[in-house]
Amino acid sequence: MSEVVLLTGGTSGIGREAAEILAAQGAIVLFTGRDREAGREVLLAVRSAHPESAGEFYRVDFADFEAVRELAREIRADYDRLDALVNNAGTSQSQRRTTEEGVEFTFAVNHLAPFLLTNLLVPRLRESAPARIINTTSALHENGSLSDLEAVVRGEEADGSGAFDGLDAYADSKLANVLFTVELAERLAGTGVTANCVHPGWIPQTGLVRNSTGFARAFTGAAALVASVAPVGPFESVEGAADALVYLTTSDEVADVSGAYFDRRERASPAKVVGDEELRRRLWRRSAELVGLPASVPEGDPLA
């Protein structure tokens, strides 16, 4: 039977490439994005990559938590198994924007939406065990800080100035990805569902900085040129980055690994602060509160 994989952010960059590879391997690839036209294109590619394997596009804006809930309901109604969830959608913003709930956009899209989606889908993943959760983080998580969590939620620098720094907000959200992964793996121990996170390399040619400043875009454009000639060192090709995601999703070599941080295919050490259990728990409790879930998740079934 074909594996069912839900991959968020499948309409561009790393996710788009990974969707096609997974489909070519015979998986039923369900993927999300906001861009309907890109969704249509990727769906065609996914279906032609392996004519027998079905695929589905779900249009969801992750800044809208009700839409994330609806996605989880739809997936659970449409599929009685889910072998892997790849939380890959991500954004980087140059201007401070907030969701309806008043949460800074980067933190909402990159951390809270996958936190919510994952916890709503854990019951289906548990029923399908062995199953896997993979979170796309970044080596930039090392620059993040969640010691003033409320400032991060509001999108303000921790120095009290009230200023917004898009790169800091991005790094904070990627640190949240790693803390979430480790805490989730602990809470899922013994269920047959693993949780790992991955830095896919630095791939300047994706669409990640499309909402960033002119300087970030110009710098990234120059880096993309270098990377296209020589994807070495920290640089990675889109294919190489997608390979890392696919490896963690399907390889037997990592079937029993959980709570780990990978730099592409290699296990690596995350930032020291990831070992701070109190911080992990505090982030978990506050994230649950912000998305309207009980802090006891993933125990129980919030959709039951």
| Smallest separation, CB 189 to ligand NAP (Å) | 25
Q: Closer to ligand NAP at the Cβ: 201 or 298? A: 201
CA 79 to chain centre: 21
| Smallest separation, CB 40 to ligand NAP (Å) | 11
DSSP string, 216-258: HHHHHHHHHHHHHH---TTB--HHHHHHHHHHHHH-GGGTT--
| Smallest separation, CB 145 to ligand NAP (Å) | 17
Q: Closer to ligand NAP at the Cβ: 15 or 155? A: 15
Quick one: CA torsion of 267, 270, 275, 281, rounded to 10 degrees? -100
Tokens of 242: 């997608």
| Smallest separation, CB 245 to ligand NAP (Å) | 9
| Smallest separation, CB 93 to ligand NAP (Å) | 9
Q: For residue 231, is the peptide bond before it cis, meaning its omega torsion is within 30 degrees of 0?
A: no
Q: Closer to ligand NAP at the Cβ: 128 or 291? A: 291
Candidate list 58, 79, 170, 247, residue with the active-site label:
170
Cα radius of gyration rounded to whole Å, the chain: 18
**CB-side exposure of 27: number of CA atoms within 13 Å?**
23
Q: Closer to ligand NAP at the Cβ: 90 or 123? A: 90
Tokens of 123: 């019951």
Nearest to 144 by CA among 98, 183, 181, 179: 179
Contact positions vs ligand NAP (CB under 6 A): 9-15, 33-35, 38, 60-63, 88-91, 109, 136, 138, 199-200, 202-203, 206-208
Q: Closer to ligand NAP at the Cβ: 128 or 135? A: 135
Phi, psi dihedral angles at 276 (to 5 degrees): -80, 100
Q: Is 170 a catalytic residue?
A: yes
Q: Catalytic residues, which ones?
A: 170
